[in-house]
Amino acid sequence: MSDARGICFVALNGYAALAGRGGVEHVGGAEQQMALLARELARRGRAVSFITRDVGQGDGASVNGVRVWKAYADDGGWPGLRFFHPRLSGLWSAMRRADADVYYQRMAEQTTGIVAAFCARKGRRFVYAAASDYDCMSALPRLRKLRERCLYRYGLRRAHVVLAQTRSQCALLRESFGVRASVLANASEDLSDVAVDAQGCRDSPSSRNDVLAESNPGGSAAGHSDRNAKRPRILWVGRFTPEKRLSWALEAARQCPKMDFGIVGDGADALMREAREAARPLQNVTLLGRIPHERMRDCYVRADLLLCTSEREGFPNTFLEAWSLGLPVVTTFDPDGVVAGERLGAAAGDVKGLSGALRALVDDAKEREACRRRCRCYFEKHHGVASIVDQLEALAFSGATGPPSARG
């Protein structure tokens, strides 16, 4: 292998995140994380590659300093046989062309096992990263096929390094699979563009009230589109899936009629119809639809609080992006208790608790400003890209290709 110590990110859905095509294709949090890490590693002079599905890109093309290899097209092959060809064969071939020292794969899926088998066969190092609490649960509720579960378990137990987002995920991986994991926090771009104050922490923009007076960007409205700029604005961001519990956000809006709620996200047609019907009677709710990642900063800046109603998550990228702008979070999911423990907003267990927390923070301007400052400081201390990539390099490139992280 070369002295460059190259790394390949296996991110089959990752081309949009790497190439900045979020306005055309859905970009998930796992893909955003891998693209962010890859770009920083490339900036440092590492040989970095990405393996993605074939979405029309040139094979081996360079995107933002990262070489992209395509594995297969989604519609290729015969039903019933396409797992073997072109999917397994295409992915294996792309990994061989990438010829990296380290292969990094994120999120529980059958790809985990294929990457592990390739690394074992070729004597390369395999780094697996959990993207959600669901990836760490023994039941693997998001993997519906037996083949997917078996391949994931195979790959997880043969990874040389397993990365978790939180201490609770480490505990789940140990209890569920007997796997040792290291915590590597998620990284985020710093969305703030304001000066550093005397304490070394960035405060909210002085022109915040002017920015909040602007109209909500994009999307279609359910309710009034002419918002009162003096009314508090609550932002909810996520896919319309059952575990995100959008209905809780709509109920909170019903209980907080003096606040305006902006809902960013989309989902399957049936869930979209349900969301529109549920939001229709609520005059303080605007359904904004899907907004490209590069435009999300505007949404955060226009908001007073970020609302999360998820049952489970990993460590949401939305939290980090919000905190980089000093935006507090009110949430039902609190990773490792940092929101409550560091006073970065508020955590609650039900809709009544969420509504109470929203009202408390909206009514206490002094506490909300102090919370904004704490959010900004916490982000700078724990989630800067450079610091996270320093840790990743130490974990990914230290040691040989064995022994794997699992025992027994």
pLDDT for the residue 80: 81
- Domain 7-187+385-397 of CATH type 3.20.20.70: no
- Domain 208-382 of CATH type 3.40.50.2000: yes
Q: Could you read off the pLDDT of 173-215 as tens digits, one per residue?
A: 999 999 999 999 999 999 985 434 434 444 443 333 333 333 3
3-state secondary structure of 65: coil
Tokens encoding 133: 């609490």
Annotate 218-280 with DSSP letters as a single string: SS--SS-SS--TTS-EEEEE----GGG-HHHHHHHHHH-TTSEEEEE----HHHHHHHHHHHT
pLDDT for the residue 78: 86
Q: Is-contact 48 66, C-beta < 8 A?
A: yes
Spans in the chain with pLDDT lower than 70: 1-4, 21-26, 193-229, 399-408
* pTM: predicted TM-score of the whole model, two decimal places: 0.86
| Shared fold status for 7-187+385-397 and 208-382 | yes
Domain ranges within the chain, ordered by starting residue: 7-187+385-397, 208-382
Interacting residues of 92 by C-beta distance below 8 A, sequence separation 6+: 114, 118
State the first-to-last Cα distance of the chain, in angstroms, to the nearest integer.
30
Instruction: Give the Cα separation of 329 and 344 in Å (integer).
Output: 6
pLDDT for the residue 103: 98
CA angle 33, 39, 22 (to 5 degrees): 55
Kind plus residue range of the DSSP H or E element containing 315: none
Sheet of 233-237: strand order equals 285-289, 260-264, 233-237, 305-308, 329-331, 345-347
